[in-house]
Amino acid sequence: MKLYRFLSADDTSAFCHKVTAALNKGWELHGSPAYAFDAAHGVMRCGQAVVKEVAGDYHPELKLGEL
């Protein structure tokens, strides 16, 4: 099955580390990154979709970050 996650965080090095960790767990980048101003918190936010092929069947209880 193909899994999908959208990673997001404030525009800091922590976001880059989050994406790097996902890549090192076998996730692949999907599409272009997103970058937007979060007016409610006054910060820039980054986002990146990632996908991964794994064995098994999908169910909503999957913990995507643990795969």
Phi-psi region of 20 (alpha: psi -120 to 50; beta: other; left: phi over 0): alpha
Q: Which CB contacts under 8 angstroms, 24+ apart, belong to 13-22?
A: 15/46, 19/48, 19/50, 22/50
**What local confidence, expressed as pLDDT, does residue 33 receive?**
96
What's the predicted TM-score (pTM) here? 0.86
- d(CA 12, CA 30) in angstroms, rounded, equals 21
Q: Is the pLDDT of residue 66 over 90?
A: no
Rounded to 5°, angle at Cα 24 from 21 and 25:
90
Quick: pLDDT tens for 4-39: 999 999 999 999 999 999 999 999 999 999 999 999
